[in-house]
A and B are shown apart, each in its own frame.
Chain A
Amino acid sequence: MSQDFITFLAASVLNDGKIVGSNPSVESDDAVADVFVPGVLSISGPRTQSALQCREEVRRDQALSEESADLSIRMLYEFYSTQTTKKPASINATYLLDGVPRNAKKSSINGHQQDGEEIHMQSSPYMSSSMPHQDGEEEAVPSRSIILAKGEDLEGKSNLRFVGLVYSPASELSAAEKGFGARQGADCNRAISEQYANEDPLVFQEKYGAIQNAGVKRRTGRRPPIEAQPISIEKINDKASNNSQGINREPKIAVKSFDRPTSSNKSIKSTSQAAVAPDIKAERPRDVPKKPASQPVAAKREQSDIFKSFSRPRAKFKYDDTASSTGASPAPNTAYSQQFESLREDEPMKDASEDEQEEDFMTSNSVNPRTSKSQSKRAEQLRKMMEDEDEVMEDTGEDALRVSQESEPADGPTPQKEISPEYPVVVTGGRRRGRRKVMKKQTIKDEEGYLVTKEQPAWESFSEDEPPPQKEKTLPSTATSSMGKGKKPGGKPGQGNIMSFFGKK
């Protein structure tokens, strides 16, 4: 049967075919020009073959030996021939051909001789002396072709081996798109690559008959820098929790801020490991409050290390975070705030913008902070804080502050406080400074990602040249501080600058 089939195939498909056998070697079709060799057949690749719409079978065929692939393609052809005899032009066939085209070899030789001549024609003095192109002239570049051809185009390509056959029912195609269209093929290939996209090519390509490569190097796992960072943070967090003297943070927060969406958001965030920046933001205000009074500065340092490692470009005063009145250590926190009050004396211009973020100091329990620390120790801490301040200005995020502002009044023991006169008021050199409570609008992102704006009581420190009536002063200072929000240089890096860059000059 096989010989009959080959005869039939050769005679019908290729008019000038001459049968030399069913399994000639590759070289024979180079040697004999007009040979059609149906014997060495294999099905074409799964992608071009995909028009058969039987991908799985085709894939199996990939692994078949040549004999059985021969059979499979024979079956294809049988189907094709029976269909065409039953009803002519009901099926269009597309062939994948492989070999050396009759005219290609000749033209490549010609082309190359031309090249050689051209090279010789160049006769600059240094060329002629050094280098003739004998090699190039004699060389004939072997060329083979792999052609996807339609049945009607097979004329003149009869010395190519016929390695594949793709057919498609004509009835399924529009009249304009008879046969296996290029568009159709490309679409099929794309569909296949999408369908099998989740397969590991290293595992599956062997199954589909791809050439294996033992040396393939593929990355596994993640990039080292990404892995390294969470580890270091974890370490730092451990330190921080050590500093917190074993206080369990999670339950505390849950208890304290159960009813507040922002707080619950915070606790949710905090449960996740601080691998990404938002988590850190959430965690930050939580860590700091629990610091014992004895070593707040060291704890601060570690905080700044965390943020340095993430190099967040946003700025925030870290001592805001100390605002946390966990009740256990209110006095030192207030001491802090007082220290920074005094720090701010030196730069009152800046304070207008910065103070508005610090109103969350919960100082209700600590009316007289100065008694808690000796002056010298405070001075040293202050100096350290000033050093840290610069770092944190760059490193921490404003969002972190916002969360802390939002949540800490809730955590604090005195959320019910009204807008109140300033506590405590210090008068130095004719200037009044202190802190007072104001209602501030806070915009935070809740756990579903919505921005929620709330009015919250917040503490604000102020510094005035003369003691004005307190109630009158409250409003202007709020206004200035909200204005300060927009131009805050550290808090919103670049935003104001970008807008001014695009604005009219």
Chain B
Amino acid sequence: MADGDENVLLQPPSDEDYPTIERQPSSYNPLKTFNLAKGDQKHYQQQYGDMYFLRLAKLKPAVEEIAAEAWADIVIAGESVRRVDRVLDVRQGELCWVAGTVYMDMPLKPNILDDISKDHWISAPPPREKYMSPTGQDQTMLEDESGRLRLIGAPLQISMLVTGCIVAVMGTENANGDFEIVDLKVPDLPRQPQRWERDDGSAILANGGGKSKSEVQKERKAGGKAAIVSGLGIDGEEGNTLTLDLLMEYLVGEACGQSTQQEVGKISRLIIAGNSITESTPLHSRDELTDKKSKKYGYDSSIYNPAPTARLDDFLATILPSMPITLLPGESDPANVSLPQQPIHPAMFPHSRAYTPMPGSEGPGWFDSVTNPWEGDVDGWRMMGNGGQPIDDIFKYVEGDERLEMMENLLRWRCGAPTAPDTLWCYPFQDNDQFVIEECPHVYFVGSQPAFETAIVDGPAGQSVRLIAVPKFKETGEVVLLDMDTLEVETVNFEIFNET
């Protein structure tokens, strides 16, 4: 079929220069909000109770402002609503409103005291999918430093509440001592910075005012796209990395035709939202380990499988020459368990670490291993994301599986991990509750969710947040592309044939 002049492949390589595709640059300015102090500065002796007080102290003014505005003129049955400072000051039969911390009293919630008192258990029960009691024994409480108030009433049925969120409730205490609520307010979205706000500030500072704001903005190129992926789930198994290879080739621009490669060239940054590594074999339990009776004390290298980390390193090191990467740890990653998870140490990645910043140098690296949760400015937009643990934990408190709703509520509570420290492990902050959301992000992504979902939520002061639930790549093969000009999303789905 092929004629002589068409035998292109049977010629030596031509010297012709073919155009290479240049990738769109990415403007990147991460925040260190969730970086914990190092070494001696990190303590675990503190009590967790401080976190609740700090959170209440920070968020109470915000929610009280909203509540006061909403309920100032409300008169019910000839009685005007009165503000009460403390939960304990609520008087029976008096219409009032009060702000405090929600506490969900759930019998099925894990309880450390139970664990201690029942230490003769043969094995711990499997973790529950939901803490909700099927018999309706759950109670919602409102507490502050003075005391607790049991809440009842219709608004509880329609609003999502979990332990640790700060709300204001309006109602009256009934004869049983329960507080019957009529209405409920949350702090709602905080102030949202303008796009490029931080970068403008630092640019002006850096230039000493030499350049005007518009000049700085003029230098900015059109934003590209950010690819967000989560749950790569690299394990030590052989032969299941083909989808990952396909993703890698796609991102690097090796796969597909030139038109697709042009599109891929617009992807300016890869964000990996947790769970890059999974344990393929179940972890050895404590009993199994002692059964082994190894004579050596200390580290037993035979139970460590380096393949997943090495493979992730390969994956990153192949993409990094072409694209900067932000790597968040997740639940199954080799980082600390308690939130905020600290960056995966670059020493885990012997090949990729060449792209990390020099120790002691300023500025983010080309390969940025960051905390979980993480926030930072990408192409001027404030992005905030986590590996999925806060949402997965909220999921246990509430009915249904509407992840976007949980994400939205989490932002409106202004608390990035409300259930910490109750049912979510976290560092015992003492001076500041880092999880309180001080500035509303433009993009809020959550990794390792069951399915891809997205929505835009709006705030009272014109805030607008793009919510993205990023699915697990290993299960769905989906990658989310976020347009950094319009904040629109699209997905790319990678499939391979079924092995039969």
Report which A residues bind B (CB closer than 8 A): 1, 5, 25-26, 40-42, 44-48, 57, 60-66, 68-69, 71-72, 74-75, 78, 94, 96, 98, 104, 108, 111-112, 115-116, 118-119, 122-127, 130-131, 133, 135-136, 139, 141-150, 153, 161, 163-164, 181-183, 185-187, 189-190, 193, 201-202, 205-206, 208-219, 223-225, 502
Contacts and interface: CB of A to CB of B under 8 A. Distances in A.
A364 B246 CA distance: 77
A424 B90 CA distance: 91
A148 B496 contact: yes
Given A181-B499, A182-B499, A133 B359 contact: no
25 contacts: A42-B256, A46-B254, A48-B245, A72-B8, A72-B9, A94-B497, A104-B493, A122-B160, A126-B188, A136-B404, A139-B455, A163-B255, A163-B257, A183-B239, A186-B245, A187-B239, A205-B252, A205-B321, A206-B20, A210-B252, A211-B23, A211-B322, A212-B20, A217-B355, A218-B366
A211 B249 CA distance: 10
A163 B359 contact: no
Interface string B249-261: 1101111111111
Given A62-B254, A141-B489, A144-B492, A201 B1 contact: no
B204 interface: no
Contacts of B321: 201-202, 205, 210, 213, 216, 218
Contact of A185 (B3, B242, B257): B242
Interface stretch (B382-390, B416-424, B456-464): B456-464
Nearest to B359: A223
A112 B404 CA distance: 11
B158 A123 contact: yes
Interface stretch (B30-38, B178-186, B280-288): B178-186
A138 to B, nearest CB: 10
Contacts of B454: 112, 115, 136, 139, 141
Contact of A149 (B265, B456, B497): B497
Contact of A124 (B159, B250, B252, B257): B159
Contacts of A209: 18, 20, 253-254
B477 to A, nearest CB: 9
Contacts of B498: 153
A135 B456 contact: yes
B358 interface: yes
Nearest to B156: A124
Contacts of A26: 259-260
Nearest to A180: B497
B303 interface: no
A124 B184 contact: yes
A214 B495 contact: no
A219 B354 contact: yes
A213 B323 CA distance: 7
A125 B155 contact: yes
Nearest to B22: A212
Query: Chain A CB within 10 Å — which of B242, B317, B353, B494 has the most?
Result: B242
Contact of A147 (B8, B488, B495): B495
A153 to B, nearest CB: 6
B185 A224 contact: no
A161 B360 CA distance: 49
Contact of A214 (B22, B455, B457, B458): B22
B9 A141 contact: no
Interface in B230-254: 238-242, 245-246, 248-250, 252-254
A271 to B, nearest CB: 31
Greatest chain B CB density within 10 A among A1, A42, A202, A208 is at: A42
B186 A212 contact: no
A143 B497 contact: no
Nearest to A130: B460
6 closest Cβ pairs, A-B complex? A124-B159, A45-B254, A136-B455, A183-B239, A211-B253, A45-B249
B2 interface: yes
Contacts of B318: 193, 201
Nearest to B453: A115
B21 interface: yes
B320 interface: yes
Contacts of B366: 215-218
Given A68-B8, A122-B160, A210 B490 contact: no
Nearest to A71: B8
B73 interface: no
Given A125-B183, A148-B246, A219-B354, 15 more contacts: A64-B18, A72-B8, A119-B408, A122-B402, A124-B155, A125-B159, A145-B493, A186-B238, A202-B321, A205-B321, A209-B254, A211-B261, A212-B23, A224-B358, A224-B360
A183 B245 CA distance: 12
B355 A218 contact: yes
Contact of B458 (A46, A131, A143): A131
A126 B18 contact: no
A469 B143 CA distance: 83
A186 B493 CA distance: 19
Contacts of B104: none
A356 to B, nearest CB: 29
A369 B419 CA distance: 75
Contacts of B248: 47
B255 A48 contact: yes
Contact of B2 (A75, A135, A193): A75
Contacts, number: 278
Contacts of A135: 455-456
Contact of B246 (A48, A108, A181, A212): A48
A403 B287 CA distance: 45
Nearest to A142: B490
B92 interface: no
A252 B260 CA distance: 72
A224 B297 CA distance: 36
B338 to A, nearest CB: 27
Given A115-B404, A214-B22, A216-B320, A141 B491 contact: yes
B365 interface: yes
Nearest to A62: B254
Contacts of B490: 141-144
Contacts of B456: 133, 135-136, 139
A42 to B, nearest CB: 4
A357 B11 CA distance: 77
B201 interface: no
A182 B258 contact: no
A146 B494 contact: yes
Nearest to A148: B496
B6 interface: yes
B260 A182 contact: no
B442 interface: no
Contacts of B488: 139
Contact of A143 (B317, B323, B404, B492): B492
A212 B252 CA distance: 9
Contacts of B459: 130-131
Contacts of A145: 492-495
B314 A193 contact: yes
A1 B7 CA distance: 13
Given A119-B405, A126-B184, A131-B457, A143 B252 contact: no
Contacts of A133: 455-457
Which of A64, A187, A214: most chain B CB closer than 10 A?
A64
Contacts of B484: none
Contacts of A71: 6, 8-9
Given A44-B256, A119-B405, A130-B459, A144 B493 contact: yes
B184 A44 contact: no
B144 to A, nearest CB: 20
B497 A208 contact: no
Contacts of A182: 239-240, 242, 496-497, 499
A121 B219 CA distance: 44
A98 B257 CA distance: 8
Contacts of B447: none
B51 interface: no
B20 A146 contact: no
